[in-house]
Amino acid sequence: MKLKIRLILPALMFWAFSVGATYAAPPDEACSLLTQAQVAAVLGVSVGAGVKIVSTSTALCGWDVPGEKSFNRKRVVLNIYTQLGSLTPMQRFNNAKTPITGVSKVPVSGVGDDALFATTPGLGTGLIFRKGNAAFDLRVYGFPLDQLEVKEKVLAANILAKL
């Protein structure tokens, strides 16, 4: 019996550690996922440090050009999908993939486990992506559409590198 325990216990410990590493808890601090330097490099302008957009939530962060207030200013907004009522982050991600009249949703390859660009005329585009059980909505503002998508993919790669 002791021999079985000696053989089984290490296998169980290995399994427990490997499962924990594979299914790590999703991040909950949006401002910690991108640095000021990363955002500035992608936007090509100086930006301030990431700031919580809603004071009571760490899941929503924005990086802005200091002093700029115009609607079309160059900026980045990152939203980590968290539990929202009865909806899990994965349910919210799957809902974001649902077709909506007037909103273009295009699958994107090479970004996390699943991704899409969602574009609403007049309001811009966003890269919605997930890695494991963590899901995100990343939006760059102040550039033409073809530049937005490239910039969002670069920033998403920076985020995914931290997961």
- Where residue 28 falls among pLDDT bands split at 50, 70, 90? confident
Residue 7: pLDDT over 60? no
Per-residue pLDDT, averaged over 70-85, amounts to 94
CA 137 to chain centroid, in Å, comes to 5
Q: Is the C-alpha dihedral spanning 92, 79, 31, 52 positive or negative?
A: negative
Report pLDDT digits (tens) over 91-104. Answer: 999 999 999 999 99
Q: Which domains does the chain have, with CATH numbers?
A: 25-161 (3.40.1000)
Tell me the residue type at 80. I
pTM for this entry: 0.83
Query: Which pLDDT belongs to residue 12?
Result: 35
Tell me the residue type at 118. A
